[in-house]
Amino acid sequence: MYNRIVFVAESGDCREPMAAAILKDIGLTEPVQILARGLVVLFPEPMNQKAEAVMISNGLPTEGYMSSQLTAEDLKGNTLVLVMEGRQRQKILELFEGADPGRVHVLTEFVGDELEIVNPYGGTLQMYGLCYETLYSSIKKLANILNEGRGYDVKSNRYGSPADPA
């Protein structure tokens, strides 16, 4: 099990805090620090208003959230970094020399989903709601994977223990 899970996307004020709040709400069997970070955070900002509205309507806390820049410190130790899009994974591996490619993954690929989490920025409240629903589905699968202790098997290039059937 990981000691820390960091959700990362562009600005740190939408998909990342939604994902972190969902995972905290679903819960893990082991204590894990769950964080949300952005790749480009020039100054701390509160959660996107539409994302916040969706979170509140789903009963998840939003008080006091401020976006934070991803740092090398966030990548240290037994940390799982989950991004929303493949290009974000690549950017992290380029920006942070010590980043372990085996610990930086696209969320949806990690859980076996096909599509990336679409950025609803600038869209309607319904688009933010759809983003939340997509995140919730993937995060529920993530919680199941982590609670069952299944990690990434390099040989089979998939998640689950080597003894798991394909």
CATH number at residue 125: 3.40.50.2300
Residue 157: is its pLDDT beyond 50?
no
Q: Is residue 81 part of a domain?
A: yes
Could you tell me if residue 166 is inside a domain?
A: no
For residue 98, being part of any structural domain is answered with yes
Neighbours of 40 (CB within 10 A): 12
If you average pLDDT over residues 15-20, what whole number do you get? Answer: 98
pLDDT at residue 110 greater than cutoff 50: yes
What is the per-residue pLDDT for 150? 61
In this structure, is residue 115 part of a structural domain?
Answer: yes
Q: What are phi and psi of 69, to 5 degrees?
A: -75, 135
Run of H or E including 36: strand 33-38
Instruction: Report if residue 50 sits inside a domain.
Output: yes
Q: What is the pLDDT of residues 113-153, one digit of tens each?
A: 999 999 999 999 999 999 999 999 999 999 999 999 865 44
Residue 100 lies in a domain: yes
DSSP letters for 56-117: HHTT---TT-B--B--GGGGSSSEEEEESSHHHHHHHHHH-TT--GGGEEEHHHHHT-SS--
pTM of the prediction? 0.90
Strand partners, 6: 35, 81
Flag whether pLDDT at 27 surpasses 90: yes
Number of folded domains that form the chain: 1
Binned at pLDDT 50, 70 and 90, residue 56 comes out as very high
Domain-located, residue 79: yes
d(C-alpha 4, C-alpha 63), whole Å: 22
| Per-residue model confidence (pLDDT) at position 151 | 54
Q: What share of the chain is helix, strand, coil (3-state, %, to 5)?
A: 40, 15, 45
Q: Is residue 164 part of a domain?
A: no
Residue 8: domain span: 4-159
On whether the CB atoms of residues 46 and 70 are closer than 8 A, the answer is: no
